[in-house]
Chains A and B, each alone.
Chain A
């Protein structure tokens, strides 16, 4: 399956990665190549086959609903590019 410039733009947007307009054509070509490679999967008869979501047959373990950790605000904010007054700071979101 071949994807065009607009589809490449959409994939970049979904991934939240800025791609310059002049680079979209080349990106579309690369992504098409990879999708072509994946196309082989359409040869496989998967009728009635369950999708594999876990390689070991196990249920996710449950634990008691209780506080086990916390009160580490300084550590959580320690690596933030911009932290102020105990919060992560970001550009204005709401107009």
Chain B
């Protein structure tokens, strides 16, 4: 029975519809797997009562012949999503005990389609981090280990709990969010598929905000087909998010034909960064060969402003974060610091935030406040916004030349060890986002898929960047790449 949690969404869907298994059995298998994986610290809350109730309802729907694709599928939900009556803390102490009175649009859509909530998943605090080490719950741990080593590795971040839970079969799939790479980098670190949709494809309502012009939620799944199924269930117009796109959501799964003959795939020169490990270069070249063998045309493209994406991101994202996180003031929700007699409201704000935020969040909020302050606004914030225009134009030009998608590595390395970057300066950690951050800056869709292993037996991933609103076409190319790469490895269970 414990084998059921290893199913994909599409595999479970077939078995549920054929009445070979019930949603209750499937859910119990995932709950058992999740309960037995404390060593991975992937879940920060388990919700077995909700799960069982939703699974029973799903079985009733399936029995009545009214079963959408996600009906009866047990999911883990990143702690950034507000879930009614279930603590939602963005892995921060400042939201200690916060139980939303409302449900995010995306999770509402998932539950309406019959999906089952297993619990909340660990992440970097307020989605700021690339290793899960900024979490107030302590880091989630990668189910993968280097061959012959029991050193704990990071599952990446910020959606590290989601990545670990999917890779370790503690759920069938999970939600993630991606502001600079927070779905794609962890997906690559654990050997799963992660999709960041076009900005505006999925509603941000009820997803705790980090940098509103960059944030986008997406699915983290065991394969590309599952990503297509789950993305369709998450996507769609929402009047409660003014940046949500009022466009029809296609049936992404039906677009997975594997036929990519004549597709033009761009290889951006500027992504050949200094010091890139040889195995990443090889992975990338192999990926291009696989697409070429499948009938695609591989072309060199240029994205000249790539090197400025990361510094521009680290102006814009903290600026937006400093504004978004101003709401955590100890008044309306979460933590309030204890005051001494004679202290007033300013001390309350300042101490609440000093005690409630972790170091990385504090650093970014202060940087954000600084770059937005009088005298520096034009030099930093305004300039970064202009550079962002140029970064987007780079992509617009490439796509205008007839390119269908762009192939890049997903990360500059395989998963690194917990604590390995502890004494590195913050910039070194920021470099994890070097291949992913441009996609958020330009609002494009991107997908990370596992295509190989490094010398230590750890998964490595490639990224495909699609045209705006063309997630279906992008996923079809990813589907073809997945078939050619044939990545089927799973971590050996040690937890």
Contact = CB atoms under 8 A, between A and B. Distances in A.
A15 interface: yes
B468 A56 contact: yes
A63 B239 contact: yes
Contact of A15 (B347, B366, B383, B392): B366
Contacts of A17: 350, 353-354, 357, 362, 365-366
A14 B369 contact: yes
8 contacts: A10-B370, A11-B366, A15-B353, A16-B329, A16-B346, A41-B315, A53-B385, A54-B213
The 7 residue pairs across chains A and B that have the minimum distance between CB atoms: A55-B443, A51-B385, A81-B336, A79-B333, A18-B354, A14-B369, A18-B350
Interface in B151-195: none
Interface of B: 97-102, 199-200, 213, 239, 242-243, 245-246, 305, 307-308, 310-312, 314-315, 322, 326, 329-336, 339, 343-351, 353-354, 357, 362-363, 365-371, 373, 380, 382-390, 392, 425-427, 430, 442-443, 468
Nearest to B96: A81
Interface string A22-62: 00000100110111011111111010011111111010110
Instruction: Please tell me the size bucket of the interface on A.
Output: 35 or more
Contacts of B335: 81
B349 A16 contact: yes
B366 A46 contact: no
Nearest to B367: A34
Tell me what chain B mostly uses at the interface: helix, strand, loop, or mixed: helix
A37 B199 contact: no
A59 to B, nearest CB: 10
A10 B366 CA distance: 9
Nearest to B380: A38
Nearest to B468: A56
A39 to B, nearest CB: 8
A44 to B, nearest CB: 5
A23 B435 CA distance: 34
Contacts of B326: 16
A63 B330 CA distance: 32
B366 A31 contact: yes
Interface in A76-95: 76, 78-82, 88, 90-93
